[in-house]
């Protein structure tokens, strides 16, 4: 029992040393790489630094993406001006084994199967809903303009 414990401790220690041997050179290499970057880095002009800062600013990227989403959401379909087409399909079935028993003796078995398939399609188009679709389209346009303004404000405040 004692030999087993000693051998399991030895295996755990060997695995620890192997992990340490793998991790240390990668850390040293990463430090050397970052030092090389600092040494080999070219000086940057003020305009380049501002441009790079604006390109990598997550607030600006998020504002631009939200403005783009608002622009894409402004369409006739989102406002309810286009028809809706709903299509559903289904297949169901079953299998049954029948054994005929006559006077206590089993006869031949019969296997029956059935299968039902269906496809439904429905086209709905609202012709007039009290100008709701037109006001929705205008609201989507205002949201698009608001997204553009928010993006501009984010860029100017950065």
Task: Give the global pTM.
Answer: 0.50
Is 132 within 8 Å of 80 (Cβ atoms)?
yes
- pLDDT category of residue 15 using cuts at 50, 70 and 90: low
Task: Render pLDDT for 73-109 as a digit per residue (tens, 0 to 9).
Answer: 999 988 989 999 999 999 999 998 888 887 777 777 7
Segment 59-78, tens digit of pLDDT: 889 999 999 999 999 999 88
Closest CA to 99 of 87, 86, 112: 112
Question: Which residues have C-beta within 8 Å of that of residue 98, sequence separation ≥ 6?
Answer: 109, 110, 111, 112
In terms of Cα–Cα distance, which of 7, 19, 141 is closest to 73? Answer: 141
């Amino acid at each position: 029992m004692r030999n087993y414990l000693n051998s399991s401790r030895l295996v755990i220690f060997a695995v620890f040393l192997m992990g340490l041997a793998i991790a240390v050179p990668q850390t040293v290499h990463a430090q050397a790489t970052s030092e090389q970057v600092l040494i080999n880095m070219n000086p940057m002009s003020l305009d380049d630094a501002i441009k790079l800062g604006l390109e990598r600013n997550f607030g600006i990227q998020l504002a631009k993406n939200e403005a783009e989403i608002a622009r894409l959401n402004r369409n006739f379909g989102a406002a309810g001006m286009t028809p809706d087409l709903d299509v559903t399909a289904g297949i169901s079935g079953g299998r049954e084994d029948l054994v005929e028993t006559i006077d206590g003796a089993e006869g031949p078995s019969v296997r029956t199967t059935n299968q039902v398939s269906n496809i439904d399609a429905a086209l709905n188009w609202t012709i007039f809903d009290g100008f709701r679709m037109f006001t929705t389209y205008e609201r989507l346009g205002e949201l698009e303009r608001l997204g553009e303004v928010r993006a501009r404000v984010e860029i100017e405040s950065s």
